[in-house]
Structure 1
Amino acid sequence: MTAINDLLAFQRQTEALSSIAERLGWDQETVMPRGAVEQRAEEMAAIEAVLHERRTDPRIGEWLDVAEPRTEAEARSVELIARDFSRANRIPAKLAQELARLTSLSQGIWAEARAKDAPEDFLPTLDQVLVLKQDEAAALADGGDPYDALLDDYEQGMTGAEIAALFDTMRPRLVALREDVLGAERQPQPLAGHFPQETQIRLARICATAFGYDWSRGRMDIAVHPFSSGRWQDSRITTRVVETDPFNCIYSTIHEVGHSSYELGIDDDYAFTPLGRGVSMGVHESQSRIYENQMGRGRAFAGWLFNRMSDAFDGLNITDADAFYATVNRVTPGFIRTEADEVQYNLHIMMRFDLERDLIAGKLSTDDLVEAWNDRFLRDFGVVVDRPANGVLQDVHWAVGLFGYFPTYALGNVFAGCLNQAMRDAVPDLDASLAAGDAAPAVEWLRENVQRHGGLKRPRALIEEATGGDVSPEPLLSYLEAKFGQIYGL
């Protein structure tokens, strides 16, 4: 009894310190002065040193040897602590500290290079990050596949080979659908005009409220790359504004509300334990994508949004709700992953997955990355990348060392497809609520079946229990074919 209590009490402090480190990351991407980058890098390195020391504390091993969990939650907590203890002990403290320092510094260098369209200013730093991540992967893999070791940080139990097989299954139908859509005679009209930042932010807040965001435990700020951060009683969102494209702000906001609502929806009893966070990035992404796409870009909510936007911007060049719904879901060749339509989004992820696997395996160098990116983009999307900010510099993930993260976006879409099918069966009148700007019935279903569990269940088991079936890309692909077939008259 003493061992389990001591173990969980020790973990509670580690979780609190980890939350502080996460808050520092939020601050860096939102309100930190630009001139403080080097100081923040040292601060992040210092707190990572403390966290690594705690995660490898020999007492954890002693407690694990004799701990006797009394509940399902305690048993799962012990499992997760043991997993983290094993992984942390494979990584040298100096490597963990240097990764924290360099990735904090690299983030600022990436942002500057992106603003200037100057990959040459960033790639040398990226190469340093890559070397450290290769060292980390080798240490974690212990003779196994290095990329799998990194992927396991974000999606426990998933392998690169499984992801590749999933993508091979999905790609032909996605490519065929894209070709049919882009070649269709019926093409939605684009939204045009000038949409002031202040009005966009006000409307984004209205949408966040419609999707149940708890403003008493959150806030919204502007960032270069939208993200959410935090857990338990404090989960914050960010968005970005392009004054010619209000959908960027609105749907980025809804997307991040999905992430944040997951964290805020976890059972309060799991706070400051390993169960008090989303179980995997794939499950996390399922929440953000189902909020953004299956609900936010659905016909019912789009009709409500059309009226709000028409009022907010004193009219639109799109004059009716049906045409607006088509415009919201308009498929166009584009460079930016975060702005990609549902048909093409996963193709962006498949490209990044292949490139980062080659980077970690040493088959691709950072010197050749720009050319490799541009060649692959042309091959996959039929478009020549016009500038680095629209190409290799568009995502922050590699700058901050998140190798193995990208495939979880597509996996999240697959999970969202399964959840949407089950949710629609369970809440047959959902569209009536969404048409009134009220996502509460969906939010409640997702909270009950997914969010409240936090890390209690393994990712695949959680989705299968929530949906009552096996995880499969079929619901997602069928949903996309039906939705875009109707919009484009296929």
Structure 2
Amino acid sequence: MTAFAELMAYQRETEALGQIAGRLGWDQETMMPLGAAEQRSEEMAAIEGVLHARRTDPRVGDWLAGAQAPDAAGQRSLALISRAYGRNACIPGRLAAEIARVTSMAQGIWAEARARNDVAHFLPTLERVVSLKREAGQALAAGGFGGGDVYDALLDDYEPGATGAGIAAIFGRMRPRLVALREALLGARHVPEPLSHKFDKAGQLALARELASAFGYDWNRGRLDTAVHPFSSGSGNDARITTRVSETDPFNCFYSTIHEVGHAAYELGIDQAYLLTPLGAGVSMGVHESQSRIYENQLGRSRAFTGWLFERMRETFGDFGVHDADTFYRTVNRVQPGFVRTEADEVHYNLHIMMRFDLERQLMSGALAVSDLQEAWNARFHADFGVKVDKPAHGMLQDVHWSVGLFGYFPTYALGNVYAGCLNKALRANVPDLDAALAQGDAAPATDWLRENLQRHGGLYEPAEVVARACGFAPDEGPLLDYLEAKFQALYGL
């Protein structure tokens, strides 16, 4: 075998083991009995130890030095393996295993604290997670990643090539237009009414499955379960989704499902030739979020699609107090300064992300102590949203990300929105009759276009490049802001 062939065979086994680790994580959030948490943390640490040893095996360096790629896909695979090899070599094996062990335990402790609205129950664990991730960031920065900046070194794991300064600049350009739009909408004379009925769990889950099918979810390679915090897990031929149910807010269930289908569809849409290779997963979390957000918002919350959803909800739940499709469209897109990011409207959502981005940068730099996080969160939320946090589950305990060590992940949600704005502009130009299909509950013209122009490429191109190739222009925040202003000014009659 050539060095390239040996490396790719070795990598295939590593990718397969990574999928097994991911399946353990999926099980922990959906099926695992509570009493298994401590054992699971040891299992996660053990498999992470095996993975880290494989990813830093000196043979990988030898193979990289001697490998000759046969084509462009092979060259890209070598580049990705080399980058991952360099990053993993910076992290000591004992640190990688300890992060896996602690974050596995932290997830359950966070869920308990959230259910009890007890920040103190979570703080010691969060202190440990922050300390470990800061140590990892420092090791990566010392190895030359992130330009020597601790936060940027962590961010590079989720959005290669992005920097905290660059994201801050994008957010700085977005904030004035978002705030101006928010203020105009909240001051409007006619404000849509929220739903006021109860919607049974079985009906919601049945309709959630129908929504997943409408957006092309492949049930032969996936499944739908419930979780405290909805997520998508897996890739290749096993990409699973979760949702959650509130009897008073079916939109939480429906749009969480559509959102996670966007993630899963990306993974399932990747060229099968890339299965269990470095190209066989989404290239970045920003691009991943572009898929989940365009599915959820530009498609799922459009007037055309909500017209179909309105009829399906009436057939499923009977009269629920909304009497026509136009009113329902306004209700779905109601703008309000709510506490919870995952339930936020399109106008407020990026403001939630900007707040978390600033706070986690401060945590990683040491400028903000974990013990002061709740006070900092509450003060910033009141300043940004004009309301006071009523309970920790609506404040710093609402998101799972920090408990599992995902520092650097949050800004990719807003980057995903930016990418989705660009993709929506290109999609509408290339599929001019899209609304006619959406009005019939058929998102296939959109999902087919996204699969052909973006999803199938997997990790073949860098994040901004794959978006630019799909759109025909370099991504920026302009199309997203234009879309938001046009949509919500029309909705609110401004």
Please, which of 462, 484, 487 is the counterpart of residue 483 of structure 1?
487
Residue 34 (1) aligns with residue 34 (2): yes
Q: Secondary structure at the match of 1:157?
A: coil
What residue is the counterpart of 2:82 in the other structure? 82
What residue is the counterpart of 2:447 in the other structure? 443
What residue is the counterpart of 2:73 in the other structure? 73
CA distance in 2, matches of 1:310, 1:176: 36
Q: Secondary structure at the match of 2:388?
A: coil
How much has 1:191 moved relative to structure 2?
Answer: 1.1
List runs of 5+ in structure 1 lacking aligned partners. Answer: none
Q: Secondary structure at the match of 1:236?
A: strand
Matches within 5 A, 1:71-470: 71-142=71-142, 144-470=148-474
CA distance in 2, matches of 1:313, 1:182: 30
Matches within 5 A, 1:7-86: 7-86=7-86
How much has 1:215 moved relative to structure 2?
Answer: 0.5
How much has 1:265 moved relative to structure 2?
Answer: 0.2
CA contact (8 A) 1:423 1:442 kept: yes
CA contact (8 A) 1:263 1:278 kept: yes
CA distance in 2, matches of 1:275, 1:350: 30
CA contact (8 A) 1:265 1:447 kept: yes
Q: Secondary structure at the match of 1:433?
A: helix
CA distance in 2, matches of 1:187, 1:390: 23
Residue type of the partner of 1:166?
I
CA distance in 1, matches of 2:176, 2:36: 47
Instruction: Map Cα deviations across residues 71-126 of structure 1 (whole Å, 9 max, x no partner).
Output: 11110000000000000000000000000000000000000000000010001100
CA contact (8 A) 1:189 1:318 kept: no
How much has 1:333 moved relative to structure 2?
Answer: 1.6
CA distance in 2, matches of 1:272, 1:332: 43
Q: Percent identity?
A: 67
How much has 1:188 moved relative to structure 2?
Answer: 0.8
CA distance in 2, matches of 1:73, 1:11: 15
CA distance in 2, matches of 1:315, 1:308: 11
List runs of 5+ in structure 2 lacking aligned partners. Answer: none
Instruction: Map Cα deviations across residues 356-404 of structure 1 (whole Å, 9 max, x no partner).
Output: 0000000001110000000000000001000000000000000000000
Residue type of the partner of 2:348?
Q
Instruction: Map Cα deviations across residues 230-261 of structure 1 (whole Å, 9 max, x no partner).
Output: 11111000000000000000000000000000
Residue type of the partner of 2:102?
L
CA distance in 1, matches of 2:192, 2:338: 16
Instruction: Map Cα deviations across residues 152-200 of structure 1 (whole Å, 9 max, x no partner).
Output: 0000000000000000000000000000000001211211101010000
**Which 4+ stretches in 1 moved above 2 angstroms?**
none
How much has 1:423 moved relative to structure 2?
Answer: 0.4
Instruction: Map Cα deviations across residues 435-481 of structure 1 (whole Å, 9 max, x no partner).
Output: 00000000100000110000000000000111011111000000000
Instruction: Map Cα deviations across residues 288-340 of structure 1 (whole Å, 9 max, x no partner).
Output: 00000000000000000000001100112110000000000000121000000
CA distance in 1, matches of 2:119, 2:35: 21
CA contact (8 A) 1:279 1:459 kept: yes
CA distance in 2, matches of 1:97, 1:353: 26
Q: Secondary structure at the match of 2:52?
A: helix
CA distance in 1, matches of 2:152, 2:98: 22
Residue type of the partner of 1:85?
Y
CA distance in 2, matches of 1:130, 1:187: 41
CA distance in 1, matches of 2:319, 2:292: 29
Q: Secondary structure at the match of 1:122?
A: helix
CA contact (8 A) 1:352 1:406 kept: yes
CA distance in 1, matches of 2:193, 2:396: 29
CA RMSD of aligned residues (A): 0.6
CA distance in 1, matches of 2:338, 2:464: 32
CA contact (8 A) 1:148 1:158 kept: yes
Q: Secondary structure at the match of 1:461?
A: helix
